[in-house]
A and B are shown apart, each in its own frame.
Chain A
């Protein structure tokens, strides 16, 4: 991502089949997530009200604080972000643009029905089965297994390779 000289802080990691990114931007920051490096399938907005759009198009991507927003239809576009306040965004990335994923926030106990599902702690310290997760903890789930969820104000994302 290109950036101007205002402050931004981004962290990124490639994991098993996906990559996670967290971007924190100060007010007035402008960045371009170019097409060649745009692998973001889902955005989660922790804080702020960033303006997110597609280069050379009128399309705006509406991010709502606390919501997971699919951006998978924009993978072949360059994404522009402009901030007018301090913003904090989490991005779930595929490693392969041809590999589709589904993503949703988990709010209650569920039984996993897929061999390629991952649970990611997006925020807070939710408890899953007997484990209290920390921010950015992740786990590959077992199909057929029940996962008892107590959010404790935290946020969990369930991502499944299609």
Chain B
């Protein structure tokens, strides 16, 4: 997923910006997104690329994700609850939820057993 941001205002005294984030391919204008105050004092501002990378990773990703999750889910996209043993044939035709965000760690499924 690619994101965009637009800085609305800047305070050099407090090293903070008011900034709006959106998904690049969103069908909603970034102008309609809520702005967020971000302190950039610990960002790498050696060039625009490093600043943009810091901003998107530290603030943009979460904001875009939370905004997306505030939207309602249309009925055709509502996922079914499925879990347990795998059967491809049982999955055919069902809408199933899966993570597409770049979270490095998920929980490993480990089971304690008595031997």
Q: Binary interface profile of A, 123-149, with partner B (CB < 8 Å = 1, else 0)?
A: 000001101011011111100000100
Across the interface, do A129 and B108 meet the contact criterion of CB distance under 8 Å?
no
Q: Are A136 and B110 in contact (CB under 8 A)?
A: yes
Tally chain A residues at the interface, Cβ within 8 Å: 26
Selected from A1, A5, A22, A131, the residue in CB contact (under 8 A) with B108 is A22
When distances are taken between beta carbons in the complex, the residues of chain B under 8 Å from A12 are: 105-108
Complex: chain A residue closest to B109, CB-CB: A136
Interface residues on B, range: 10 to 19
Known: A3-B104, A10-B104. A20 touches B115 (CB 8 A): no
Q: Which residues 87-109 of B have a CB within 8 angstroms of A?
A: 102, 104-109
Q: What's the Cα separation between A12 and B107 when bound, in Å? A: 5
**Is B49 interfacial (CB 8 A cutoff)?**
no
Q: Counting CB contacts under 8 A, is B114 at the interface?
A: yes
Cβ of B74 within 8 Å of any chain A Cβ, yes or no, is no
